[in-house]
Amino acid sequence: MAKTKLRICIAGLGRMGKRHATNFHELTARANVVAASTPDSEERKWGQDNLEGVTIYADYDEMLEKEDLEAVVIASITAVHAEQAIKAIKKGLHVLCEKPLSIDLDVAQSVLDAYEESLQTHPNQKVMCGFSRRFDASYREAHERIARGEFGLPVVFRSQTADLIDTSGFFVDYAKTSGGIFLDCSIHDIDLILWFLGEDTSIKSLQSVGVCAVHSGLQENNDRDNALATLEFEGGKIAALYCTRMMAAGQEDITELICERGSVQVNFQPRKNHVEIHDAAGARRLLPQHYYERFREAFITEAAEFTECCLENTAPPISLRSSVRAVAVGQALQRSLISGEKIFFEGQTFKN
């Protein structure tokens, strides 16, 4: 008989960790959150106040050692994603890690290597990186219809991640460890490329450019607040990406697949809900103010499906190999952004 509950812990109770903790603790029927860890005292206080029955630790390693766990959800800062994932993998635990696995390709690859080695001992272990758009109902419908061949083969992929402008200085400080705008903002769009065009699709070349329009401090960390990229694939396919951190109205994440016999658009008229205001100033609709407001339901679906695949021993919804390749592409785009050079692929390597 299949197990009814999966014993899970949460690593990190920052902004994203709180959301994962709430989703798994309150909204995922087959998950049992037994512990959480964070080195931040204020975050531990939040956990004690909001996660009833959950043991809160200051130290991740202590949590892994003391608790009887089956799975770990890693929502810590990006700098420790890989380290924490590998520790859990070596214990034979299932792992859901927030994106990206790392901002360094070699480090991301080390997670995949650890997982593949662990599978020799723990063949039913599940490890995946959380890319929320794959769990969004609209993106899933678009993918299913294209996969069925309704519009012929996709030829042009274009996508954007457009974040609400930040006036607090958060993005400038965050850029010190984020890996840059392509590994932070555009990593979702890169993952969508691999999902829609195939994770084994061969890239011939890529190039990116960017500017600092409102966050001049990003320049010190080789980052930008606006960037564009083009990617060329073997087989006659191309992609265009846009990412920005200065949208005035709110979150505007859109994607289009142009196929041989038609096109599919996702969220080309962004909206918070179906309310439209008509007054003396004109007609308008509100937009989501941040990514979680737009993709909240996708994160809930992600939690449920990760739990389900662990309990039922089915394939994870996203392959870890694809998530490592997303880091490779994001890192190459960031390199092109800084150098101004076009980068050519040879197999799985890059050359200028």
Same structural domain, 125 and 164: no
Same structural domain, 290 and 170: yes
- pLDDT (0 to 100) of residue 178: 87
CA 315 to centroid of chain Cα atoms: 19
Residue 257 domain-assigned? yes
CATH of the domain at 235: 3.30.360.10
Same structural domain, 123 and 223: no
Same structural domain, 267 and 152: yes
Q: Mean pLDDT in the chain?
A: 94
170-194 exposure pattern, b = at least 16 Cβ within 10 A, e = fewer: ebbebbeebbbbbbbbbbbbbbbbb
Burial of 277 (0-12, 13-18, 19+ CB in 10 A): exposed
- pLDDT (0 to 100) of residue 352: 40
- Which of 121, 213, 202 lies closest to 171, judged by CA? 213
- Number of structural domains (the chain) is 2
Three-state SS at 131: coil
pLDDT one-digit tens code per residue, 283-338:
998 999 999 999 999 999 999 999 999 999 999 999 999 999 999 999 999 999 99
Q: Which domain holds residue 339?
A: 137-297+326-350
Residue 68 domain-assigned? yes
pLDDT one-digit tens code per residue, 235-245:
999 999 999 99
Same structural domain, 110 and 238: no
Which of the listed residues 129, 157, 181 is the one where a domain comes to its end? 129
Residue 108 domain-assigned? yes
Same structural domain, 177 and 46: no
Same structural domain, 71 and 181: no
- As a whole number of Å, the CA-based R_g of the chain is 20
Same structural domain, 116 and 150: no
- pLDDT (0 to 100) of residue 347: 57
CA 200 to centroid of chain Cα atoms: 19
pLDDT one-digit tens code per residue, 52-104:
999 999 999 999 999 999 999 999 999 999 999 999 999 999 999 999 999 99
Helix H or strand E encompassing 304: helix 291-312
Helix axes 41-50, 15-26, angle to 10 degrees: 20
Q: Which residue matches tokens 């490890």?
A: 127
- pLDDT (0 to 100) of residue 2: 56
Same structural domain, 61 and 191: no
Kindly report which listed range (7-16, 21-30, 230-239, 278-287) carries the lowest average pLDDT score: 278-287
Same structural domain, 76 and 149: no
CATH of the domain at 106: 3.40.50.720
CA 29 – CA 321 distance, rounded (Å): 29
CA 142 – CA 257 distance, rounded (Å): 9
pTM over 0.85: yes
